[in-house]
Amino acid sequence: MAAAKGGVTMLRRKAAKGGLHDALRAMPSLQRLSDKDIDALVADGVEVTHAEGTVIMKRGDMGVGFHLILSGSVDVVIDDKAVARLGAGEYFGEMGLLDNKPRTADVVVASDLRTLTVLSWAFRPMLERNKGLERMLLEGMSQRLRDLQS
């Protein structure tokens, strides 16, 4: 079943575990994760679709989810300027969930988007149980900081 509201469709059922696991395993950005880590994403995540133009996150708002892009793309916007475009295998929303601070950018759907979304109350427990995911996020944030400095 799916519910649609304001350009967002949330698939209320958990995705077929095998198919989603295989799709995540095939993403280059996730290949260092163990099967246990990928199983945790599948178990704790919900597939969500967003229509082009939908604002998923607003700068200054508190975070409600971590979003791993399965297909489509988003623009990361700061002060009305797109500073990055993220696509399949990339993710966003982790910073506000890790430090419990407001979002630092707007995120706008650039092309119809499908994400695996882990809601805030499941995010930290998932990381505590799956150190590979925690390491992936830490390395990803480190790389983003380096990119900003270059």
3-state secondary structure of 55: strand
Element (H, E) at 84: strand 81-86
Q: Domain for residue 148, yes or no? A: no
DSSP category for residue 32 = T
Q: What's the rounded Cα separation, in Å, for the pair 80 and 117?
A: 25
Owning domain of residue 105: 2-143
pLDDT in tens, 37-53: 999 999 999 999 999 99
Identify whether 150 is part of a domain.
no
| Euclidean distance between CA atoms 5 and 149, whole angstroms | 39
Give how many domains the chain has, as a whole number. Answer: 1
Q: Report the CATH number that the domain containing residue 69 is assigned in CATH.
A: 2.60.120.10
Residues 125-143: pLDDT tens digits? 999 998 988 888 888 888 8
In a domain, 139, yes or no: yes
Residue 47 falls within a domain, yes or no? yes
Query: Is residue 125 situated within a structural domain?
Result: yes
- DSSP letters of 5-26? ETTEEEE-SPP-HHHHHHHHHT
| pTM of the complete model | 0.85
* Residue 100: both structure tokens together: 């419990």
- Residue 43 belongs to a domain: yes
